[in-house]
């Protein structure tokens, strides 16, 4: 009996994720080249990340890497990753005392969920003479464990205006973590809600620059693609279960 090697298993998982994205895009009449596959790299080693980046490049995919934890940013300076020119994003809960590291690392910060975070990011970006794109995190599931603004234009309007007034931060869309349930209808409702909110905010606040929708993870990426995600954030479905 032969057992497949770890690398064969990785390739199989990766190609499975890509075909899930492609099939969902096709159902929705979308082109999968317009969807960024963000690798959620928390807990993964530079070696593991570099292998997946190479495989995705061979497959001509639009990719980004997303780190969750400020403490793990340093690993992206490893020679296996530094200089690979993959766009770097920050997707985790933000702390004001880590704002400097996050701004230095990430060209797109997904998780602005409070005003004091916007203040800290702006100050650090200004100090470093950087302009950073940001997403406003929205809590579309109502789950208390999740950060983010309530999914209404009234809740999102003030932070949007605050970010638009900044010279160093540019709001470009919304991000959510979908409902944590196996009920696909509930997940779909929460993700559809993010898109509806983005469209309402564009209209109501005259903000056509809100183009991005960061939503969908390993378990719900098809639904997210069908509902208009421009960035899906995938970890375990590619790398395997986290320890
Ligand atoms: C870990 C993480 C992901 C990826 O989760 P998987 O279920 O491993 O695909 C996506 N988004 C955020 C914010 C995460 O923390």
Q: What is the pLDDT of residues 214-238, one digit of tens each?
A: 999 999 999 999 999 999 999 999 9
**15 C-alpha to center of ligand 1: Å?**
18
Q: Is 148 left (phi over 0), alpha (psi -120 to 50) or beta?
A: left
Q: At residue 53, does pLDDT exceed 70?
A: yes
The backbone torsions φ and ψ at residue 196, rounded to the nearest 5 degrees and listed phi first, read -60, -40
The proportion of the chain whose per-residue pLDDT surpasses 90, expressed as a percent, equals 92
Q: What is the pLDDT of residues 135-170, one digit of tens each?
A: 999 999 998 888 999 999 999 999 999 999 999 999
- The pLDDT score that the predictor gives to residue 2 is 60
Atom of ligand 1 nearest to the CA of 111: 13
- The pLDDT score that the predictor gives to residue 59 is 97
CA-closest residue to ligand 1 atom 2 = 40
* Whether residue 65 has its Cβ less than 6 Å from ligand 1: no
- The pLDDT score that the predictor gives to residue 242 is 87
* Whether residue 171 has its Cβ less than 6 Å from ligand 1: no
* Whether residue 234 has its Cβ less than 6 Å from ligand 1: yes
Q: What is the pLDDT of residues 81-134, one digit of tens each?
A: 999 999 999 999 999 999 999 999 999 999 999 999 999 999 999 999 999 999
C-alpha R_g of the chain: 18
Pick from 221, 237, 236: nearest CA to 32: 221
- The pLDDT score that the predictor gives to residue 156 is 98
- Largest Cα–Cα distance of the chain, in whole Å? 64
Average pLDDT over residues 6-28: 96
- The pLDDT score that the predictor gives to residue 74 is 97
- Residue 174 pairs in a beta bridge with 136, 213
pTM, two decimal places: 0.96
CB count within 10 Å of CB 17 equals: 18
**39 C-alpha to center of ligand 1: Å?**
9
Tokens 């199989």 appear where?
A: 12
- The pLDDT score that the predictor gives to residue 1 is 53
**215 C-alpha to center of ligand 1: Å?**
10
CATH number, domain 3-239, options 3.20.20.10, 2.60.40.10, 3.40.50.300, 3.40.630.30: 3.20.20.10
**55 C-alpha to center of ligand 1: Å?**
20
Please name the residue ranges forming H helices in the chain.
6-27, 46-58, 99-105, 115-127, 153-164, 184-204, 221-226, 236-239
223 close to 191: Cβ distance less than 8 angstroms: yes
Q: What is the pLDDT of residues 167-209, one digit of tens each?
A: 999 999 999 999 889 999 999 999 999 999 999 999 999 999 9
6 close to 38: Cβ distance less than 8 angstroms: no
Domain boundaries, the chain: 3-239
* Whether residue 215 has its Cβ less than 6 Å from ligand 1: no
- The pLDDT score that the predictor gives to residue 133 is 98
**130 C-alpha to center of ligand 1: Å?**
27
Confidence of residue 6 (pLDDT cuts 50, 70, 90): confident
112 close to 159: Cβ distance less than 8 angstroms: yes
Half-sphere exposure of 113 (CA within 13 A, CB side): 22
Burial category of 224 from C-beta neighbours within 10 Å (exposed 0-12, middle 13-18, buried 19 and up): buried
């Amino acid at each position: 009996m032969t057992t497949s090697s770890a690398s064969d298993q990785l390739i199989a998982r990766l190609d499975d994720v890509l075909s899930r994205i492609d099939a969902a895009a096709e159902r929705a009449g979308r082109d999968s080249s317009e969807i960024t596959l963000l690798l959620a790299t928390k807990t993964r080693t530079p070696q593991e990340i570099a292998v997946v980046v190479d495989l995705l490049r061979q497959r001509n995919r639009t990719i980004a890497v997303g780190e969750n934890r400020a403490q793990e940013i340093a690993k992206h300076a490893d020679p296996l990753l530094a200089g690979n020119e993959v766009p770097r994003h920050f997707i985790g809960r933000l702390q004001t005392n880590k704002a400097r590291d996050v701004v230095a690392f990430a060209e797109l910060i997904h998780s602005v969920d409070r005003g004091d975070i916007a203040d800290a990011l702006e100050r650090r970006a200004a100090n470093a003479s950087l302009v950073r794109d940001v997403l406003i995190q929205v809590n579309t599931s109502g789950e208390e464990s999740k950060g983010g603004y309530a999914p209404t234009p009234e809740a999102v309007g003030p932070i949007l205006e605050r970010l638009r007034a900044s010279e160093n931060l540019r709001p470009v869309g919304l991000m959510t973590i979908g409902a944590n349930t196996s009920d696909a209808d509930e997940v779909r409702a929460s993700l559809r809600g993010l898109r509806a909110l983005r469209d309402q905010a564009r209209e109501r606040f005259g903000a056509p620059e809100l183009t991005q929708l960061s939503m969908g993870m390993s378990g719900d990426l098809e639904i997210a693609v069908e509902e208009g995600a421009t960035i899906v954030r995938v970890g375990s479905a590619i790398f395997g279960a986290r320890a």
